[in-house]
């Protein structure tokens, strides 16, 4: 399996509860390395663009409002099969369905306020990384 990159967001429910370090440690313990990281306040336009694939879903407007309700930490993670490693440690979208020991089982408040985002494919990881980071901001 190759070393690849994925894109992560520590969501506003988690930054509000001062969980940036705790979540990052779980990512690192899962074999992922933070090769870029910045704390930002997303604009409405940025959040709408990022989640454009969900634009027709009933929860879209709430999701955008939630994602701009406070700061987020956007990260590029690197490791063996990074997309899968990240999604495994993140757990299911709904914390009620997430396995013990996952980020969402441990920290999520709800299916919406679920503490972390992780890309779902290598292709989307590349798109999402480029949405938030310039190449020179990523130092592996």
Nearer to ligand ADP, 61 or 137 (CB): 61
Q: Which residues bind Mg ion (CB under 5 A)?
A: 120
Task: Map the footprint of ligand ADP across residues 14-43, applying CB under 6 A.
Answer: none
The reply on whether position 65 binds ligand ADP by CB under 6 A is no
Candidate list 5, 104, 105, 117, residue with the active-site label? 117
Pick the binder of ligand ADP from 111, 122, 124, 126 (CB under 6 A).
Answer: 111
The most distant pair of C-alpha atoms in the chain lies apart, rounded to whole Å, by 39
Interface region with ligand ADP, contact rule CB under 6 A, candidates 21-29, 31-39, 74-82, 109-117: 109-117
Residues 45-64 that bind ligand ADP (CB under 6 A): 54, 59, 63
The contacts of residue 9 (CB under 8 Å, 6+ apart) are 72, 73, 74, 75, 116, 117
| Contact of residue 122 among ligand ADP, Mg ion, none (CB under 5-8 Å per partner type) | none
117 is catalytic: yes
The residue within the footprint of ligand ADP, chosen from 42, 114, 132, 133 (CB under 6 A), is 114
Question: What are residue 4's phi and psi, to 5 degrees?
Answer: -135, 180
Q: Collect all residues with Cβ–Cβ distance below 8 Å to 96 and sequence separation of at least 6.
A: 111
Nearer to Mg ion, 68 or 116 (CB): 116
Q: Which is nearer to ligand ADP, 45 or 137 (CB)?
A: 45
Active site residues: 117
């Amino acid at each position: 399996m190759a070393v690849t990159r994925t894109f992560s967001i520590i969501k506003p429910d988690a930054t509000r509860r001062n969980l940036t370090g705790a979540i990052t440690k779980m990512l690192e313990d899962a074999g992922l390395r933070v090769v870029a990281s910045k704390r930002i306040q997303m604009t409405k336009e940025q959040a709408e663009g990022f989640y454009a694939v969900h634009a027709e879903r009933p929860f879209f407007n709430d999701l955008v409002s939630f994602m701009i309700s406070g700061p987020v930490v956007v990260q590029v993670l690197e490791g063996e099969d990074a997309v899968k490693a990240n999604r495994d440690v993140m757990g299911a979208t709904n914390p009620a369905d997430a396995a013990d020991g996952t980020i969402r089982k441990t920290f999520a408040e709800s299916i919406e306020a679920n503490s972390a985002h992780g890309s779902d494919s290598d292709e989307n990881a590349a798109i999402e990384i480029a949405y938030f980071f310039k190449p020179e901001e990523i130092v592996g």
